[in-house]
Amino acid sequence: MSKLINQPIELERSGDFPLSFSFGQNFTIKYILKHWREAGQWWTGEPELFVYEVSTNRCRCELHFLPDTGKWILYRLAD
């Protein structure tokens, strides 16, 4: 089962590799399972984003990175 979160997070990185983030608890990223880029609906002004599906010490998560703003979003948690 997955839970839609869609909240900003502070992500710790080593170079380009995401290491961990906090969202009520600490999540340590073990693996990047998939990653891709989504162009968004550019005709409506929606920005490009990068999507990372990661495995953490607690669960699988979907993280979004918005390069225009430099912000990270915890989009979804999956049990």
Residue 43 is classified by DSSP as: G
**Within a domain: 52:** yes
Looking at the 3D structure of the chain, how many domains does it have? 1
Give domain status of residue 24, yes or no: no
**15 φ/ψ angles, rounded to the nearest 5 degrees:** 65, -125
Question: Starting at the edge strand that comes first in sequence, how are the strands of the sheet with 11-14 ordered?
Answer: 2-9, 71-78, 60-66, 49-56, 26-38, 17-22, 11-14
Predicted pLDDT at 45: 86
Q: What is the pLDDT of residues 44-63, one digit of tens each?
A: 988 899 999 999 999 999 99
Q: Specify if 62 maps to a domain.
A: yes
Better-scored residue on pLDDT, 38 or 1: 38
Q: Has residue 60 been placed in a domain?
A: yes
Per the domain annotation, does 77 fall within a domain? yes
Assess if residue 23 is contained within a domain.
no
Domain hosting residue 64, numbered range: 32-79
